[in-house]
Amino acid sequence: MSLGDDYLKYSKRKYGMDHDRYPWSILQKRKPVTWPGGARVALWVVPALEFFPLDQPAMPFRAPGGMVTPYPDLRHYTLRDYGNRVGVFRVFEVLDGLGIKASVAVNSKVAERCPFLINEIARRGWEIIAHGVDMGRLHYGGMDEAEEAAQVEESIGTLRKLSGQPVTGWLSPAKSESMNTLDLVAAADIEYVCDWINDDMPYPIKTKSGDIHSMPHSHEIDDQTIMLHYQHNEAEFVQQVSDQFRVLYGEAAEQGGRIMAVTIHPWMSGQPHRIKALERALAQVIEHDGVWSATGAEILAAFRAQQ
């Protein structure tokens, strides 16, 4: 077997990126940003409220954290549902105690199944980010565009209707997109997406409806990534949040405001043995001067006002 000669052709080998969604840009060489009140770091905490269906499809892949055993995988179904029944209240209590705001990424199925949770978010004045329909309904390369458009509409439409919020942020389930996802969510008046983990700051991303923004939602400072995927323990989670913060806080003194994003899954951090670790992790951040707790929409508004 040999490779065709096309394998050595490089049609996109030129300055910048190999696609047109965003231009190549170096974080450290951009115009510094200032945050309200002269804060150095905007703290953006994003708990995710997710519904993992028992019949989660295996194709094109299963969202991490999903079903593992042959059907019916009651074990993983209920362990994830624990987050919405129990864990979420521990997480919200920690945030309340520390005076931290949240942007909560919500599957629209969660809003339909647990309207109580939408009320819990709304009464705190927190933001809702559209997080797709559920963790079994992925957006992925090669999916039918009409089907995806319906999925986008179901998610965003349902969340707007049930929350009364404008809902301007989007986080794809498993951060998985098709080549059309950005265009479809922008057409539905989404202003920022959370899937692109290539930066520590917002940047404009092109769509057929004009530029929207990519926001640096964290895949690294994420309880699921650290404690489930990497299997690090709770103390290591606290350490990594601390290390992340210290570096960003230090850079902010010279390079302008930074964003410290923390991704939380109540089915992970909301466990009794982990909740104190989450509290310690966030307390060591918020206790610093110059930390601005804000929602994604607020951070983006402050950023855009300076561009």
**Binding residues for other proteins, per CB under 8 A?**
1-3, 5-8, 10, 12-19, 24-29, 60-61, 140-142, 172, 174-179, 195-200, 219-221, 229-232, 236, 239-241, 243-244, 246-248, 251
Q: Which is nearer to other proteins, 208 or 246 (CB)?
A: 246
Q: Which is nearer to other proteins, 19 or 31 (CB)?
A: 19
| Residue given tokens 């909560």 in the structure block | 104
Q: How far is the CB of 111 from other proteins (least distance, A)?
A: 24
| Alpha helices, H only, the chain | 74-82, 88-98, 108-113, 115-122, 145-163, 181-187, 223, 234-255, 266-269, 275-286, 296-304
What is the four-CA torsion angle of 16, 18, 22, 23, rounded to 10 degrees? 10
3-class secondary-structure state, position 129: strand
Picking from 21, 41, 24, the residue whose alpha carbon sits closest to that of residue 302 is 41
Q: Which is nearer to other proteins, 177 or 279 (CB)?
A: 177
* Integer Cα distance of 252 and 27 in angstroms: 12
Q: How far is the CB of 115 from other proteins (least distance, A)?
A: 31
Identity of residue 95: L
Q: How far is the CB of 170 from other proteins (least distance, A)?
A: 12
Q: Which is nearer to other proteins, 87 or 136 (CB)?
A: 136
Q: How far is the CB of 114 from other proteins (least distance, A)?
A: 27
* Integer Cα distance of 299 and 101 in angstroms: 12
Q: Which is nearer to other proteins, 25 or 209 (CB)?
A: 25
Q: How far is the CB of 14 from other proteins (least distance, A)?
A: 6
